[in-house]
């Protein structure tokens, strides 16, 4: 029987991943509407929304494989209308969001040790690595945006950088 406390923790996390996916999606759409010329950034956000969905799926498959059930969620939610005063504000929110997710993952790791569930402990190591990358990535983007924010030419070049960086990441994931 799959440990009840662990199951509840993992189910909460899969809902957080779903929320993350929706957050990135709403940000991508806002970017596309408000800053259509900066398509490197909006494409990055759209793709990241898909990534977050994959993080959720990974949890669902794990819970089911361990004999639990993840058939408890999916209340249909409508995306709230979002708006940001600036690109900087958007990425600040994203960075804060990723830090919260990291904290939640850390608590789950702690719980898995308390409950002596070493399978789950091992499973969660992938999420730990992922959060290290995601915090670093959102912080790097935020820092760059702060540097070029008021400079239109700088923003254009930055968007091109994100596009190239993003392409490289996508092809390294495929190989």
Integer Cα distance of 103 and 25 in angstroms: 22
Nearer to ligand OFO, 98 or 159 (CB): 98
Is 98 near ligand OFO (CB under 6 A)? yes
Residue 13 as a binder of ligand OFO (CB under 6 A): the answer is no
Give the Cα separation of 102 and 75 in Å (integer): 24
Calpha distance 3→117 (Å, rounded): 8
**Do 99 and 135 meet the contact criterion of CB atoms below 8 Å apart?**
yes
Q: How many CB atoms lie within 10 A of CB 111?
A: 19
Query: Which is closer to ligand OFO, CB of 134 or CB of 159?
Result: 134
- Beta carbon nearer to ligand OFO, 32 or 130: 130
Compare residues 17 and 117 and give the one whose CB is closer to ligand OFO. Answer: 17
Residue 159, interface with ligand OFO (CB under 6 A)? no
Contact positions vs ligand OFO (CB under 6 A):
17, 20, 52, 55, 98, 101, 130, 134
């Amino acid at each position: 029987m799959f440990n009840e406390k662990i199951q509840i923790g993992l189910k909460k996390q899969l809902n957080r991943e779903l929320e993350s996916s929706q957050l990135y999606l709403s940000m991508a759409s806002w970017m596309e509407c408000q800053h259509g010329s900066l398509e490197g950034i909006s494409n990055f956000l759209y793709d990241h929304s898909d990534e977050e969905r994959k993080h959720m799926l990974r949890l669902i498959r794990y819970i089911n494989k361990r004999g639990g059930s993840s058939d408890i969620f999916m209340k249909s939610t409508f995306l709230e209308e979002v708006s940001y005063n600036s690109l900087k504000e958007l990425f600040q929110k994203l960075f804060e969001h990723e830090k919260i997710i990291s904290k939640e993952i850390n608590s789950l790791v702690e719980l898995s040790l308390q409950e002596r569930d070493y399978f789950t402990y091992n499973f969660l190591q992938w999420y730990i690595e992922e959060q290290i990358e995601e915090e670093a990535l959102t912080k790097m983007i935020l820092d760059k945006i702060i540097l070029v924010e008021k400079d239109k030419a700088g923003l254009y070049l930055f968007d091109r950088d994100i596009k190239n960086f993003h392409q490289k990441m996508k092809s390294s994931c495929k190989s």
